[in-house]
């Protein structure tokens, strides 16, 4: 997405391994800002997937991740609301290798901190 000099790259990955628990990971990288990783799992039988925890983490380099504090979570969600309100046009990203590596790193972080 792009408006004036602002650019935000978003990579969404469908990570489902069990059809009853659809899973997604999303990497969001605003230009010249930290990278955010979001993980969600939905149990189609209920609103809560007991085997998985949602996760919102942040990284400065796409390799080392830390769970977001409440403040960072609120900041991220407010920024996403602003992006929606700005109605930024979507442009298909062709240079996303770094985001893909960040997604793999984020998923490793998530598994490490939220596995049973």
Domain limits for position 106:
2-114
3-47 pLDDT per residue, tens: 556 778 889 999 888 787 888 999 998 888 899 999 988 766 655
Asked if residue 35 lies in contact with residue 110, where contact means CB atoms within 8 angstroms, the answer is: no
Predicted pLDDT at 61: 92
Q: Number of folded domains in the chain? A: 1
Average pLDDT, the chain: 82
pTM of the model: 0.81
Q: Indicate whether 1 pLDDT > 70.
A: no
User: Confidence band (pLDDT; 50, 70, 90) for 108?
Assistant: very high
Q: Provide the 8-state DSSP code for 76.
A: H
CA-to-CA dists, residue 32 to 5, 7, 60, angstroms: 11, 9, 10
């Amino acid at each position: 997405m792009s408006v004036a000099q602002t650019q935000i790259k978003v990579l969404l990955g469908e990570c489902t391994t069990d059809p009853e628990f659809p899973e997604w990971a999303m990497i969001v990288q605003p230009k010249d800002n930290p990278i955010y990783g979001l993980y969600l799992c939905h149990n189609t039988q209920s609103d809560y997937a007991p085997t998985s925890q949602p996760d919102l983490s942040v990284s400065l380099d796409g390799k080392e991740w830390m769970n977001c504090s409440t403040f960072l979570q609120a900041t991220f969600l407010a920024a996403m609301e602003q992006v929606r309100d700005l109605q930024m046009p979507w442009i298909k990203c062709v240079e996303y290798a770094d985001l893909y590596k960040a997604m793999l790193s984020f998923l490793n972080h998530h598994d490490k901190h939220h596995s049973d």
